[in-house]
Amino acid sequence: MNESQKRTVMVIGYNVRPIACLTKQLGFKVIAVDYWGDLAIADCTDGLLTVLEQKPGELLKSDFDEPISELLVNLAEKAVDKFGRVDFILVGSGLDDRPDLWGRLGRLAPIFGNNPDRFKIIRNPLKVFNTARSLGISTPKTKKVVSPDEAVDIAKKIGFPVVLKPIRSSGGVRLRFCNNPNEVKKQFNAVAGDRVEVWVQEYIRGIDASSSILGNGKECITVSVNEQLIGKKELGVSSPFGYCGNIVPLKANRRIIEHIRNISSTLGKKLGLIGSNGFDFVINSNNEPYIIEVNPRFQATLECIHSVTGINLIREHIKACSGEQLSKVPEPNGYAVKMIVFAKEKSVYPDLRGIEQLYDISHKGVIVDKGNPICTIQVVDEDREKTINKALKKASEIYNKLESVNKRFQ
């Protein structure tokens, strides 16, 4: 039995199926704390607790008395009581803006990744942007405001259009595009939610991109530069800023790719990022990448990167967090496309079992609200356009199945 088979790992996040499955491939015992609880995740775990309880004929609940991040950590504590101690914890999305909850998790077992103090820095756009500018990296003009009137004043100084962003956000939720002062005033409360503060940010028009990096405290390397799929109406996403997938790698001029690689590794080292982390960029019409956000944990590109490079980023993350030398990254072989399909209307979930290239499948017969995810499509091919078209064709098949099932229930 190798060392990994003797150890138990907890994985926690909004959708940890990819993390759980890649961790299981390494021979670890896996305890998962997940929001969704899709059909396949149980096959990759030795113990599982989920926030949602998926029952045929019942609506997938999306409103809770507590934040989802707190519900996940509550379940993590229950998981240790139920399944026993774990050796370390791997964190996915859903806890980015709650360093206090990382502190609670850290009392259960060591977290392999950035510590809570580091989180407070890297999830503060102003601190990240100041560091980036000191390295010559372009950033959008950004200011925190506490009222609609102040938001209007700052937006005028920045110059329209602007984006209003919540202080805590994930996946593009509650971001608003504003062309004029009236729109800023109208959208302020929707963005602020239960807080009084929002970010007003310069809108950078261009190609949405991301990078995946690895850091071990001494050095930092860029693993991959990717294209992001944001606000794609054909995938049913309700927000123009809604995240709905990736294309790995980004197809662009070699000079741009190398520039993003260089600034990502340089900024990652300067910020002291540990393990697998990601940066979001927008590449403007002058081919200048603007950093938009830091994702200080595993990114949604895990499986796509694995498909085209053979790299298991869970293994590399664990090595990096242990201070080991970072592995050489092979060039990508082909393209991997990930598309998240969202419900365009309130729907009864069809039976999607057995369909190739589909992941994150819910239970047949549950009811999903408009705007909720249906499944994830992942396609790999040597040709970028063929890969995209195959994924879009698969999305059309899913929507046809949804339409067929829902006609029977009308």
Domain ranges of the chain: 3-111, 141-202, 207-409
> In whole angstroms, what is the distance from residue 140 CA to residue 201 CA?
6
SS3 assignment, position 296: coil
Give residue 50's Cα distance to chain centre.
Answer: 18
> In whole angstroms, what is the distance from residue 347 CA to residue 98 CA?
32
> In whole angstroms, what is the distance from residue 358 CA to residue 356 CA?
6
Domains 3-111 and 207-409 share a fold: no
The pTM of this model reads: 0.94
Q: What is the pLDDT of residue 1?
A: 37
Q: What is the pLDDT of residue 196?
A: 84
Task: Give me the tens of pLDDT residue by residue for the chain, a chain 410 residues long.
Answer: 355 667 999 999 999 999 999 999 999 999 999 999 999 999 999 999 999 999 999 998 777 888 899 999 999 999 999 999 999 999 999 998 888 898 899 999 999 999 888 888 888 999 999 999 999 999 999 999 999 999 999 999 999 999 999 987 665 578 999 999 999 999 999 999 878 899 999 999 999 999 999 999 999 999 999 999 999 999 999 889 999 999 999 999 999 999 999 999 999 999 999 999 999 999 999 999 999 999 999 999 999 999 999 999 999 999 999 999 999 889 999 999 999 999 999 999 999 998 999 999 999 999 999 999 999 999 999 999 999 999 999 999 999 999 888 776 55
Architecture of domain 141-202: 2-Layer Sandwich (3.30)
Note the pLDDT tens digit of each residue in 25-81.
999 999 999 999 999 999 999 999 999 999 999 998 777 888 899 999 999 999 999
Q: What is the pLDDT of residue 299?
A: 95
Check if the beta carbon of residue 162 is closer than 8 Å to that of residue 203: yes
Note the pLDDT tens digit of each residue in 220-237.
999 999 999 999 999 999
Four-CA torsion 51, 394, 19, 353, nearest 10 degrees: 60
Instruction: Evaluate the CA torsion angle 346, 352, 357, 359 in order and state its sign.
Output: positive
CATH fold for the domain made of 207-409: D-amino Acid Aminotransferase; Chain A, domain 1 (3.30.470)
Q: Domain 3-111 is in which class?
A: alpha beta
